[in-house]
Amino acid sequence: MTTCACIRYVRFGLSKQDTQSEKAYALAREQFAALGVDTHSALAKLSKIPVSLHCWQGDDVGGFEPFGESLGGGLAVTGNYPGKARTPDELRSDAAKALSLIPGKHRFNLHASYAETEGKTVERNALKPSHFQSWIDWAKEQQLGLDFNPTFFSHPKADDGFTLAHSEKGIREFWIDHGIVCRHIGAAMGRALGSPCVTNVWVPDGYKDTPADRHGPRERLAKSLDTIFAEPLDANHILDSVEAKLFGIGSESYVVGSHEFYFGYAVANRKVLCIDAGHFHPTEVISDKISSAMQWLDRLMLHVSRGVRWDSDHVVTMTDELQAIAHELVRNDYLERTHLGLDYFDASINRVAAWAIGTRNLLKALLIALLEPIDTLRQMEQAGDFTARLALLEDMKLMPFGAVWHYHCLQQGVPPDLKWMQEVCRYEEDILAKRI
Ligand code: RNT
Ligand code: ZN
């Protein structure tokens, strides 16, 4: 049994830190100003960047369908930390708690399996916007945008590992219809909330062992996607996106929707490409793909995740790669064309904390990038002074980003580092621990 860590955090909660934060910020501001960087404008930009929090961290990708299939699609969640959300209301309450610990205005990313059908079995090809009305109402109340995903896994018709690329027409059509109804749901969400809903197609289709036919399934997947996307929908309401993967559990040898497949599909059909940080070889990074992809695509969706030795979907931490992703988006002015989402699921720790840690880290990485003296670095590079470029990049690493972040949290009315965890502990004691 895991216990709550409140005691440790209460002790760290030095109130002195708050009284000194203005002073620390003023000093940091001067240090950045000396490099030609304005901390106020960096914070103004940061406060406008939305991150799409993934609903599935709150209940281990369970969803609320009455037929409750166990997790499929080659996905795996490990851990049994108490307090997982069992109902949509619990999930909404947990997500609201997490959002209260994160500076800025954000989005919430739902899966079709989180439909609310009042206990009735509604097949995935018959889902309607009304099954997501409570989510839409909640999003309005919380001032969140919504993003959406058809659910092509955890379902009897996906049990043999194929959906949109299935060789049987009937099964393929079932999943095509699911994709179609989900686009209408996404569009309804976007219309209701006045902000386009990124509706992301990811299918698990693939083979455990060496296939004899790599071509056929890919041809079927392309045709199925064409049918799903045939009806033009208003881009003010919905943006279609497609997500590739290298392998999953049970699809180690061949994934139909590979990176090359979807890159080509997205370019040819002007779709949003969703790049998941965990969907490549373990040493392959997505940060270097962004500026290549942006030459050919209008928009990207990122599933910011952290694979540990495989696509393990660990909570996002402050890694070099996270910072590299943030630098790419800021340096190249891609934020307007990029939809930032998170994609991880850890059931071995407090799930509200997992959301807060990952989202705060992404925002911190963006802040670090926004505080970079990019013009100076570019000038050095153009002058061929690679020594100065390296020296400045390295010296930047110990700049007082923490003081700026701390100030930002207080300005935005959320607890700063070393404080927010107290809130999680309290919530765990009062709410999560009572869910037996
Ligand atoms: C799976 C993909 C996909 C899912 C979510 C639940 O490997 O990353 O994005 O994680 O749709
Ligand atoms: Zn993903």
Å from CA of 202 to ligand 1 middle: 7
The string over 184-208, giving b where at least 16 C-beta atoms fall within 10 Å of a residue's C-beta and e elsewhere, is bbbbbbbbbbebbbbbbbbbbbbbe
159, 193, 273, 335 from 60: Cα distances, Å: 19, 26, 25, 29
11, 317, 325, 337 from 340: Cα distances, Å: 34, 15, 11, 10
Rounded Cα–Cα distance for residues 197 and 189 (Å): 6
User: Is 245 near ligand 1, meaning CB less than 6 Å away?
Assistant: yes
Rounded Cα–Cα distance for residues 302 and 292 (Å): 14
pLDDT of residue 20: 86
pLDDT of residue 5: 52
Q: Which ligand is nearest to the CA of 245?
A: 1
DSSP one-letter code for 306? B
* Ordered domains of the chain (ranges, CATH): 51-369 (3.20.20.150)
User: Is 56 near ligand 1, meaning CB less than 6 Å away?
Assistant: yes
- Is 243 part of the annotated catalytic residue set? yes
Q: Which ligand is nearest to the CA of 153?
A: 1
pLDDT of residue 2: 46
User: Is 305 near ligand 1, meaning CB less than 6 Å away?
Assistant: no
User: Is 343 near ligand 1, meaning CB less than 6 Å away?
Assistant: yes
pLDDT in tens, the chain (436 residues): 445 555 545 544 445 556 689 999 999 999 999 999 999 999 999 999 999 999 999 999 999 998 878 999 999 999 999 999 999 999 999 999 999 999 999 999 999 999 999 999 999 999 999 999 999 999 999 999 999 999 999 999 999 999 999 999 999 999 999 999 999 999 999 999 999 999 999 999 999 999 999 999 999 999 999 999 999 999 999 999 999 999 999 999 999 999 999 999 999 999 999 999 999 999 999 999 999 999 999 999 999 999 999 999 999 999 999 999 999 999 999 999 999 999 999 999 999 999 999 999 999 999 999 999 999 999 999 999 999 999 999 999 999 999 999 999 999 999 999 999 999 999 999 999 999 8
This prediction's pTM: 0.96
- Is 313 part of the annotated catalytic residue set? yes
Half-sphere exposure of 167 (CA within 13 A, CB side): 7
- Is 111 part of the annotated catalytic residue set? no
Rounded Cα–Cα distance for residues 413 and 18 (Å): 12
Q: 290 with 329: CB under 8 angstroms?
A: yes
pLDDT of residue 4: 52
Q: 55 with 344: CB under 8 angstroms?
A: no
